[in-house]
Structure 1
């Protein structure tokens, strides 16, 4: 069962209030009246939210005045999408809240389970993309439940790697015809990480049990030395792919307790 939380009226309140405002005033209004973005809950995340707002501002005027239909469409898509990851992972998608919000036209959905299972999707995402993104985020909710993880922002790097690897491979299995960019990332991005693979593995190995913000951001945002972003996703994609190639299932990977995931990744990295 899915509860819909439609935040688009809150966005409209902000958008109306910010008409004609200078960028600094617009940012202050965003913080006071809206404050929703797919960014880390850190000071660096707030800087990213400001950048998204500034980049998207001129496009917001082209959105429909009433976005409730888009929110209801996402709610309907969520209800229809749950059966697929459930069947693959052998467990139901938990009852959850679907948050429909206006993002920054970057098509960035996210999910968490703390304090309650939640999937957040931007209403400007095209319906065919939303289907694929929903599979990824619903796989996260199932994984949180099966692995005993809290499903919050704070988790070890090892857990992040496996969580993203599982979700991307579930999405790949259930949407094999979707563009690679929707399933994991642009082909050029993945190829660039392949070139840096040895360096990324070596950088991650001593940090697998770390759960501080700096470590998480190092492998989600652009890497400070290797420059590419979302290193944890590339690591997870490779790990889960090799797990499958060894004849194991994603359902089995989903049931590895979260506390054991750093050791699981260490075994893979150090082989």
Structure 2
């Protein structure tokens, strides 16, 4: 079992203090007593956190008073996902910390270093495949020599998300496409600009600055859709699997080799 860091008591402290506060005071109390959200560690991250707080505020009063059962449930689901991934990647699960927290009801979980951060408000049927996706990142980091940090090349971002989405699809074959990748409409929008997205990505494979990474996570400044790294990775890893490569093999490609490997992608 992973180590556990449960942040829900900190959220309860913040919520009790802020329950009757005005929005600006509420934000200040959030920063002082909680300050945890699924946002990128970039200058714009705090602005996103403020928006998530404001949008989720009315929903927080509907949370159960006792969140411990949800924490226990996530621990159980994490272990189930670990076992499936251990069999797929043919290696023991890496050491990691499970961080449970109250998020913004936006359905977002994330990995930071060796921590897997899961919001307790996420429904159980959704959390199962999300844990598979996020744990795939931890297995991948261990096998490819990544430190799991925010800074990595655009190529690494694309392959990481491609491996995670394809692994989730393989282990949750009855889940709809929107669960392990995104909506059909979103993927169609990406398909419409597929050639342009690849051209843009191929020109930046070695880049690892915030602007380059956010270009393929936030709405694309030229082509429009957000999360285009997921679409690019889905296509790329799908091509590799069609060539006879395996998920376990791809997970072991050293991170430093990924820009050159992605540059050789099939057209």
TM range (shorter): over 0.9
C-alpha displacement of 1:112: 2.8
- The residue number in structure 1 matching 2:79 is 79
Q: Could you tell me how far apart the structure 2 residues matched to 1:103 and 1:183 are?
A: 20
- What does 1:198-237 align with in structure 2 at a 5 Å threshold? 198-237=195-234
Matches of 1:16 and 1:121, distance apart in 2: 22
Give the unaligned 5+ runs of structure 1: none
Query: Take 1:164 and 1:13, find their aligned partners in 2: how far apart are those partners?
Result: 35
Match of residue 130, structure 1, among 115, 127, 139: 127
Which digits, 9 at most, give the CA deviation of each residue in 1:113-140, with x for residues without a partner?
3xxx211110001111111001011111
Matches within 5 A, 1:53-92: 53-92=53-92
* Partner residue in 2 for 1:140: 137
User: SS where residue 5 of structure 1 aligns?
Assistant: strand
Please state whether the residue corresponding to 1:42 is helix, strand or coil. Answer: coil
8 Å Cα contact 1:99-1:121 kept in structure 2: yes
How high is the TM-score relative to the length of structure 1? 0.96
Mean Cα deviation higher: 87-96 or 57-66? 87-96
CA positional deviation for 1:205: 1.1
- Bigger drift between 235-244 and 73-82 goes to 73-82
Deviation at residue 179 of structure 1 after TM alignment? 2.1
**Normalising to structure 2: TM-score of the pair?**
0.97
Partner of 1:259: 256
Q: Which residue of 2 aligns with 1:37?
A: 37
Can you list the C-alpha shifts for 1:239-270, whole angstroms capped at 9, x where unaligned? 0000001111011110110001111111116x
Structure 1 segments (4+ residues) deviating >3 Å: none
Residue 97 of structure 1 is matched in structure 2 by 97
Quote how far apart the aligned CAs of 1:88 are. 1.1
Distance in 2, matches of 1:67 and 1:29, equals: 21
Q: Residues of 2 paired with 1:70 and 1:128: CA distance?
A: 13
Unaligned runs of 5+ in 2: none
| SS of match in other structure, 1:43 | coil
SS at match of 1:135: helix
Q: Contact 1:112–1:141 at 8 Å: present in 2 too?
A: no
Question: What is the CA RMSD across the aligned residues, in angstroms?
Answer: 1.0
Partner of 1:169: 166
Superposed counterparts of 1:235-246, under 5 Å: 235-246=232-243
Structure 1 position 191 matched with structure 2 position 194: no
How far the C-alpha of 1:201 sits from its partner, in A, is 0.7
Distance in 2 between residues matched to 1:225 and 1:11, nearest whole Å: 38
Q: Distance in 1 between matches of 2:93 and 2:259?
A: 25
